[in-house]
Structure 1
Amino acid sequence: MDIKTLYDANINNITVAKNAYDTLYSAFGQHIENWQHDVVDRLGHSEWTGTAAGHANTRIQFLGNELQAAKQELGLISKALTDAAEGIAAAQSHLISALDDAKKNKMTVAPDGGITWDKDPNSPNYAGDKAEATAKEIGKRITAALTEADHTDQTINARLGHLATNATNGTGLDSATAKADQTATDALNQVPAAGTDPNSVKAWWNGLTDAQQQHMIQTEHDKVGALDGIPATARHQANLINLQRGKERIQRQLDALGPEPVHNLATYNGQPIKNPDYDDWKQKHDDLEDKMHGIETIEDRLNTPVDADHPPAFLLGFDTKGKGHAIVAVNNPDTADNVSTYVPGTGARLGGSLHSDIERSDLMVASANQATGNSKTTSSITWVGYAAPQSIVPDAAFDIFAKAAENDLHSFETGLRATHEGKPSNNTILGHSYGTTTVGYTLRDKGLPVDNVVLIASPGVGVEHARDLGVDPSHVFAAQGDIDSIKFAPPEDADNFASNLINNAGGSFGFIDEPDHHVAFGRDPSVPQFGAQIIPTSPGTDHSGYWENGSASLIAMGKAIAGKPIS
């Protein structure tokens, strides 16, 4: 698609063709009604019987089915032409808007899209000192409009080509074929159900015109924003709407709580009698305030000016259910060379430590950039897409949270593969603390389409050896700081606590030659027996210190994410 073709496109001609097919559809429907009345009904009342009558009635019924199928196929052509007109009209509007802005800014757009302007400050046609930046922006809009039109052209061409083939070879007269075609067309207007295979979701999305995609984003934003297999930029647009709606909803709920009730109702024998209404109010208030804090954290990061330390961010997931969920990508994972998903652990939620979790993604992108000399693009995604344990005791002592997250994490990673453009990216799954348990269980039970696994401060990942994760052990990395208390995480099975403690202590003090080094959910991944590559840590690294600027662990994480040797 070129500028002239799109600019000169006569949308009215498509509409006229669509109207002609509507006329044909109506006439054909009337023909079928006449056929039913003048032939089928008359023969049915003729009292004609016998073998010949049986054959004739069978053939007539078969012909009637063919006519109904043909009518259904004609209706699908009309729908395709409607979608074509809307899609091309939208792209044409975007192109004209960009060309108009070029003209307003005293710029000339060549047929090939090149933009020129007068650079002489003394000229009456001088385009200004910001002309270059303006030209780049307009150029991007022109390219986007042409891409939009081309996508619509290819999508509609495929649909019409399929229907034309059916008409040519007669398959369109088959009722099963017509029904399948109708189902496929109807599906274009329905967002796939949650849990649909991301590759199928991507195929559905690609079958929509850009105008239809934008319609889905605006009207079905809650579904589109949460659906794996939808490209990152589209999910981002949908989730910006979800974020605003969520913020408004949380504020309404806060307002509805009313003022803070009194803490105590009275005193009895010198002791305060607590007001149960206050406790209920405070629990709801604190939960809502926490979510609002998370929303504001996301807004702050999305609105941060892009610079070397803060690449563009994309909101890939958002909701306020339960403790709330958020998925924030630093850089676009669909176009990045390296893609890492960071799964935080205990306490992860929409509020809480979301700010520091996103900040870690920024740091890991910077570290990976340093490892590649900025020759590759890296995206790091903070994935708070599961209900993480909210307390060390008792929540984090159980693996139910990790098990419950398996399907969602598997779907998300599969979606990253489905939507990535061009050459497959080098993908890493990285967990911290209980997040490593979530990662490990998913790798063990579902498998993940990743190239590297990074386990930071792990209480165990459900397996005894790196090879049991389904990834090349040489691409499994683990770290544990010298003063990280995670090494003392007791086993989930309380019956084994004493033996586990004796075993580990015996290994530490040399009483046992080959301790099993079990922690809460299996063998400690940072010991040699597990078989992972050990990520170095700086002296004094505690449970949250792995992302300190300049630390050995952050440098090594960047290398692992970039697919580089860590030493």
Structure 2
Amino acid sequence: MTAIQRPTQMPDCTYTDSGRSVVSGVRACATVISDVADTMHANSAPDGIEGEPAEVAQHAMTSTAGQVDAASAAMITGLTALDAYCDRMDELKSTWHDLENMKGALDISVISLESRKNNPEPSDTTLDSDIRAHNSKVSTYDTDVSDWVRHVTEAEDRVIAALGRADTVSEAEGLVGLVPHVPTLLQELESLGKDPLAINAWWLALSAAEREALKVSDPSRIGNTDGIPIVDRDDANRAHLSALLNTLKQQKDDGEALSDEQQELYDSAQAVYKGLDKADGELDAEGNPVPAFLMVYDPYAADGDGYGAIAFGNPETADHVSVNVPGLGSKLSGIDGVAGNAWEVRENAERQGQGSVASIAWLGYDAPDFGKSVNGVIDGLGVTGEGKAAAGARNLSDFVDGLRAARHGEEPHMTVIGHSYGSTTVAKAAGNDGGLDVDDIVLVGSPGAGDENPRASDLRGHVYVGAAGDDFVSRLGSNEDLSLGVDPTSDDFGATRFKVDTPGDFAFDDWDTNIDLHTSYFDKDSTSLNNVGRVVAGRGDDVDPEGHREGGNAGWWAKETAEDGWRATKAGYEKAEDGVKWWLKNRFGIG
């Protein structure tokens, strides 16, 4: 009888995701060094100094710039090696899990075969052949384990050797001429314009060192360019975010007060981290960690309001992708709230459908925002017109085109969700004058779909609408010239309207409730969120239907105004009555 072989014990895999955190931290440091080098080269001699002092300053600047260039070259070399090591170890960690599962199956096979061998049955005529088949699998497994150990050792040796080539000053100085020439690469990128397909093809053709040099030297450009893969955008944007926040923290720690602009940058950076942290420790339906990607980070855009986009799940691989567009009052310092809504959409859609889901909080346009200054008031008044929505619509279309360009597999089911003024932005992007073409459009709390879109059929994609009956913002849509277009919940517009929760009644003297009526569409487990989740999961036919509004919104406003007037009149009568009673009691002792 053939002996039963036992599988080799699988060695531990000590590599963890913390390796990526180390690379991210090093990249942020390299970004700061690159910025210092740029500054030194751009300011080789102070203005107004001539003669010998200028020569000294020139020499000092040039000398220091050369030293910083050497440090930057060493960092880029090290980053390229570390990034390659993490990529390789991610593959090997996946292989390790597969081998662990294989060993578990072989251990069970050993127990079964030993039981048959120790308790033979006359009818068991295949035991010997089964043992030989089992032993063949063990032999393959043992070889795979040996290969796995060898591959881990090779990966470690490569990264150690690469880092060893850049760990002295002289070695770093020798690397300066070997790192990619970033200005040439940026010129190549510039020549591609805004074509995301061409940009994606160009990026994928670059070497790992060229990509790393670009991410370190110009993280804002790389992180915010549509068509560049999401992982690389995330790398660049996180480096930019970390470098900026650390600089501001250091300034505060040194006792130097932040200016108003710097405080806004500080607050927005903190908000971005809070948004990214929504996925921290969370698992998807398959039990895998939900990744968070910083797809857009431009804190200086929109006159300092900032642009940002955070994805939960990978839109380059997910079966269902949603892009969530906020409205009035949205800016980067509040993106954690927008990210919270996107997270709830992802979680709900995953529970309601089949397949993986990625949900993106997108603030890539200048949403109307009432600031404290005169300019802030003027900016906020943009909510009364379609100019900001039109500009945002172009950015949104470009962003979605970039998502598609970076995806190299089957097209996903894609939904774009607009809330409040963001719904006007989405509608204008999906209308005949826009470039957005997706499967489904969701408009919630919408003040109007834009003057050029009087019908849902004017938009590309199936259109779904949700609005609480007393959501005052959703009552702004009309056929009047001063509006943002027709009410999307109206029968004339013709969208599929779904049910939402109604957390209260509108009242001119209760704006807390009024705001809740307008902002509760993404509340966890709400009727509204459940219906939005069904659309995102590709189950739009299963939404809870709600009848269209009829008769326009003028009648609703007239009713609310009349009721408010009656409430005020009633309160006045009651106060007058109390006053008469007080006078009669104190003057005549009556009452």
> 1:388 aligned to 2:367?
yes
Unpaired stretches in structure 2, ≥5 consecutive residues: 1-76, 108-144, 156-182, 371-376, 505-516, 544-591
> 1:546 aligned to 2:559?
no
CA distance in 1 between partners of 2:99 and 2:246 (Å): 42
Match of 2:142 in 1: none
Change (3 A) 1:99 1:317: closer
Change (3 A) 1:99 1:222: closer
Match of 1:334 in 2: 316
Match of 1:132 in 2: none
Match of 2:487 in 1: 524
Instruction: Give the aligned residue type for 2:297.
Output: F
1:377-526 alignment, distance < 5 Å: 377-391=356-370, 394-444=381-431, 445-462=433-450, 463-469=453-459, 471-472=460-461, 475-489=462-476, 516=479, 520-526=483-489
Change (3 A) 1:255 1:377: same
Match of 1:196 in 2: 194
1:127-276 alignment, distance < 5 Å: 190-192=188-190, 196-251=194-249, 258=256
Q: CA deviation at 1:307?
A: 2.4
CA distance in 2 between partners of 1:376 and 1:410 (Å): 25
Change (3 A) 1:464 1:98: closer
Match of 2:268 in 1: 291
Q: Please, which of 330, 337, 340 is the counterpart of residue 359 of structure 1?
A: 340
CA distance in 1 between partners of 2:400 and 2:525 (Å): 29
Asked if structure 2 preserves the Cα contact closer than 8 Å seen for 1:188 and 1:207, the reply is no
Change (3 A) 1:212 1:407: same
CA distance in 2 between partners of 1:204 and 1:413 (Å): 19
Change (3 A) 1:257 1:437: farther
Aligned to 1:547, the other structure's residue is in SS state coil
Instruction: Give the aligned residue type for 2:405.
Output: A
Q: Kindly provide the CA deviation profile for residues 441-499 of structure 1, in whole angstroms up to 9, marking residues without a partner as x.
A: 22222221311111111111211111112x14xx111111122111343x7xxxxxxxx
> 1:566 aligned to 2:547?
no
CA distance in 1 between partners of 2:436 and 2:392 (Å): 13
Asked if structure 1 preserves the Cα contact closer than 8 Å seen for 2:192 and 2:198, the reply is no
Count of matched residue pairs: 366
Match of 1:316 in 2: 295
Change (3 A) 1:527 1:291: same
Change (3 A) 1:349 1:255: farther
Q: Please, which of 276, 282, 306 is the counterpart of residue 282 of structure 2?
A: 306
Q: CA deviation at 1:196?
A: 1.6
Aligned to 1:417, the other structure's residue is in SS state helix
Change (3 A) 1:239 1:558: same
Aligned to 2:189, the other structure's residue is in SS state coil
Q: CA deviation at 1:210?
A: 3.6
Q: CA deviation at 1:369?
A: 1.1
Change (3 A) 1:97 1:357: closer
Aligned to 1:420, the other structure's residue is in SS state coil
Q: Kindly provide the CA deviation profile for residues 146-171 of structure 1, in whole angstroms up to 9, marking residues without a partner as x.
A: xxxxxxxxxxxxxxxxxxxxxxxxxx
> 1:534 aligned to 2:497?
yes
Instruction: Give the aligned residue type for 2:442.
Output: V
Unpaired stretches in structure 1, ≥5 consecutive residues: 1-85, 121-134, 146-184, 261-280, 492-499, 501-515
Q: CA deviation at 1:401?
A: 1.4
Q: CA deviation at 1:399?
A: 2.0
Instruction: Give the aligned residue type for 2:494.
Output: G
CA distance in 2 between partners of 1:100 and 1:380 (Å): 26
Match of 1:175 in 2: none
Q: CA deviation at 1:398?
A: 2.4
Instruction: Give the aligned residue type for 2:535.
Output: A
CA distance in 2 between partners of 1:398 and 1:191 (Å): 35
Aligned to 1:448, the other structure's residue is in SS state coil
CA distance in 1 between partners of 2:339 and 2:211 (Å): 29
CA distance in 2 between partners of 1:97 and 1:560 (Å): 38
CA distance in 2 between partners of 1:449 and 1:206 (Å): 25
CA distance in 2 between partners of 1:439 and 1:207 (Å): 34
Q: Kindly provide the CA deviation profile for residues 214-272 of structure 1, in whole angstroms up to 9, marking residues without a partner as x.
A: 33323332211011001111111111101112213444676799459xxxxxxxxxxxx
Asked if structure 2 preserves the Cα contact closer than 8 Å seen for 1:547 and 1:554, the reply is yes
Note the aligned Cα RMSD (angstroms). 4.0
TM-score (norm 2): 0.55
Change (3 A) 1:355 1:442: same
TM-score (norm 1): 0.57
Aligned to 1:332, the other structure's residue is in SS state coil
Q: Kindly provide the CA deviation profile for residues 287-311 of structure 1, in whole angstroms up to 9, marking residues without a partner as x.
A: 3453243244245336x12324982
Asked if structure 1 preserves the Cα contact closer than 8 Å seen for 2:248 and 2:262, the reply is no
